[in-house]
Amino acid sequence: MEQSEQKEPRGYCSGATVIEIEQDPTLVKDHILWSIFSFHYLNCCCLGFIALWYSIKSRDQKHAKNLTLAREFGLTAKRLNIVTTVLTIITYVVVIAIYAATIITMISHFNQRN
């Protein structure tokens, strides 16, 4: 009996295939909407403007496919947005508390006179 050899069809390449997988740029967050909101409504100590600037830099780096710098700028923008939001909330709470204390004081003085 003759042993039959299996031959590969013509044009068949048995070499290894290399597939490069790039990082997905949509996973890098630039927080642009939050920065615009912080700049427009919560611009405490101009931190909203600086956060917007870092968000734009992050978006530029993302389009340039430099995802490491895009992540760093996005993280900086996120931190600045958090600080701006917290400072603005504290400011609003203090202003409302002062306003309420003033009204209560005025009402008590008015009641004492009558």
Domain range summary for the chain, segments of one domain joined by +: 28-113
Q: What is the mean pLDDT of the chain?
A: 86
Average pLDDT over every residue of 79-104 = 96
d(CA 9, CA 2): 21
Percentage of residues of the chain with pLDDT beyond 90: 64
Q: Percentage of residues in the chain with pLDDT exceeding 70?
A: 78
Residue-level pLDDT at 43:
85
User: In the numeric block, which tokens belong to residue 91?
Assistant: 């400011």
Q: Residue holding tokens 């870092």? A: 54
